[in-house]
Amino acid sequence: MNFDKIIARAKAILLTPKTEWPVIAAEQTTVADLYKNYIVILAAIPAVAGFIKSSLIGYSAYGVSVRIPIGSGLAAAIVGYVLTLALVYVMSLIIDALAPTFGGEKNPVQALKVVGYSYTASWLANAGVILPWIGFLIALAGAIYAIYLLYLGLPSTMKAPQEKAVGYTVVSILAALVLGWILSLVITGIVGTNAMMGAAISGSGGQASVDSNSALGKLDAWSKNVEAAGKQLEAAQKSGDAAAQSKALGAVLGAAAGGQQVEALAPDVLKPFVPETLAGLPRTDFSAERNGALGMQVSEARATYTDNGDRRIELEVVDMGSAKGLMSLASWATVENQRETEHGYEKTYQQGGRLVHEQWDGQDKHGEYAVIVGDRFSVKASGRADSIDQLKAAVAAINLSGLEALKNQGVKNG
């Protein structure tokens, strides 16, 4: 197993997909080789990240931290990993079977190629689940980009006409969702597929154009920026100039963040957005910090409000800094999702140009309400309340417009 080749392929499919897909399509390989030399490695990332989050870091809510026992966590990771490997193969069978319907050519090896390499973005992004709240959005962005990679890859691998690639992609994803439901898999983030693919496609003679104002068009522009930055990094690596390599790496990160590099706000700047009282409750503790690695920064301020009785609200104000571009990507997808439970519900939707997530359990009288402001800041209130309306009111009491006014602070054009 050559890890250098795995890294090179993952980098190429993410940064230069339009030139990499023809290379992939021309390679001679087998199903077994695709699995052992690539898929089994990349597909393990979500399983490992999920285990770290659930059993080592844990989930925190309402002042309580919960960790799944290591044995149970390992079992869940292994089962999820095996099901993922199975889902990849069955999805390749579906794509292969659909090929003639969309003017393509059946080829099981090429079908596995397009599935396995498209999933690269989603598998890598799922490492973000170890982060609170924004991990969901990072995983979502990865899933969206994986769909886009599939759209780009189908014409090269399955010989489908470009003008039929959108339909081929949408039908393949819908089939995968049905399959995932049957297998009881939770495919996080594969929502808004139709919205993301809601591009205006036109053309003749085998040529197609994408509406630049559509979600797919914006993804195409984002991909071009990342591709250009990736070429700069490749040139810098060949030069051996350490300074040039560092600058080029920053350009890649900036392109991934929407063509911009963002310095997250200092903790003191976030503090005014965490009031001393909230929903009639006094603030009993407060913390604020800014963290960063590889040029990526995130700042957050947290506070707890309680009357030392049953009422308790936790407030989080997070500046996602360098992940700003990923928040825009999630917004492009016009993501909407709703799920009802026996005692409550959970839903994600757009409201007033902002991405909103709310969850409520009427039996236990607890929930959470979160809003993405300016495609950069997350404001979330969670805890025990009489109704979800109290948590909504808590978030509304924050100076959201003042926070949104800071969305360009620390932003540098790439």
DSSP 8-state secondary structure symbol assigned to residue 129: G
Q: Exposed/middle/buried for 327, CB within 10 Å: 0-12, 13-18, 19+?
A: buried
Contact by Cβ (8 Å): 379, 387: no
Range in 171-185, 226-240, 299-313 the model is least confident about? 171-185
97-107 average pLDDT score: 89
Residues 406/265, Cβ–Cβ less than 8 Å: yes
Q: What is the pLDDT of residues 246-293, one digit of tens each?
A: 566 555 555 554 555 677 889 999 999 999 999 889 999 999 888 754
Query: Is pLDDT at 19 greater than 70 in this prediction?
Result: yes
CA distances from 384 to 26, 108, 189, 280 (A): 58, 52, 27, 14
User: How far is residue 300's CA from residue 288's CA, in Å, rounded to a whole number?
Assistant: 6
**% of the chain beyond a pLDDT of 70:** 65
Number of Cβ within 10 Å of residue 242's Cβ equals: 9
**What tokens were used for 201?**
């496609």
Mean pLDDT, rounded, for 209-217: 51
Of 70-79, 80-89, 155-164, 220-229, give the lowest mean pLDDT range.
Answer: 220-229
Measured distance CA(82)–CA(318) in Å, rounded:
35
pLDDT of 195: 33
Separation between Cα atoms, residue 287 and residue 271, nearest integer Å: 9
Residue 116 predicted with pLDDT over 90: yes
* pLDDT, position 355: 80
Residue 186 pLDDT class (50, 70, 90 cuts):
very low
Element counts in the chain: helices (H) and strands (E)? 17, 15
Q: Which residue has the higher pLDDT, 203 or 316?
A: 316
Please name the residues in contact with 308: beta carbons below 8 A apart, sequence gap of 6 or more: none
Per-residue confidence at 190, pLDDT binned at 50, 70, 90?
A: very low
H/E element, 47: helix 44-51
Confidence class for position 207, pLDDT limits 50, 70, 90: very low
pTM for the full predicted model? 0.50
Q: Would you state the structure tokens that stand for residue 81, as one six-digit string?
A: 């990993």
Two tokens, residue 410: 């620390």
What type of residue is 387? S
| Contact by Cβ (8 Å): 306, 286 | no
User: Given the structure tokens 């195409």, which residue do they identify?
Assistant: 220
For 128-155, the pLDDT digits (tens) are 666 665 666 777 778 888 888 999 999 9
CA–CA dist 132, 61 (Å, integer): 10
Please check the confidence at residue 194 and state whether its pLDDT lies above 90. Answer: no
- Name the nearest CA neighbour of 222 among 240, 196, 191: 196
Instruction: Return the SS3 of 361.
Output: strand
Task: For tokens 């500046």, name the residue.
Answer: 319
Q: Which residue, among 318, 307, 290, 289, has the nearest Cα to 383 in the 3D structure? A: 307
**Cβ of 78: how many Cβ atoms within 10 Å?**
12
pLDDT tens digits along 347-377: 878 888 788 888 899 888 889 998 888 878 8
Residue identified by tokens 């770290």 is 52
Percent of the chain whose predicted confidence (pLDDT) is above 90: 24
pLDDT at position 109 is 94
Q: Which residues of 273-298 are buried (b: 16+ CB within 10 A; e: fewer)?
A: bbbeebbebebeeeebebeeeebbbb
The answer to whether residues 80 and 180 touch, using CB atoms and an 8 Å cutoff, is no
The pLDDT tens digits for 29-83 are: 998 889 988 998 888 888 877 777 666 666 554 444 566 666 656 666 776 777 7
CA distance 344 to 346: 7
Per-chain mean pLDDT for the chain: 75
Encode 269-283 in three state secondary structure. Answer: HHHHHCCCEECCEEE
Q: Is 326 left (phi over 0), alpha (psi -120 to 50) or beta?
A: alpha
- pLDDT: which is higher, 110 or 234: 110
pLDDT for 202 equals 40
What does DSSP assign to residue 322? G
86 Cβ contact partners less than 8 Å away, ≥ 6 residues apart:
183
* More confident of the two residues 192 and 250: 250
Confidence check: pLDDT of 240 > 60? yes
CB 191 within 8 A of CB 181: no
Question: Is 177 in contact with 190 (CB distance < 8 Å)?
Answer: yes
pLDDT of 2 higher than 60: yes
pLDDT of residue 131: 63
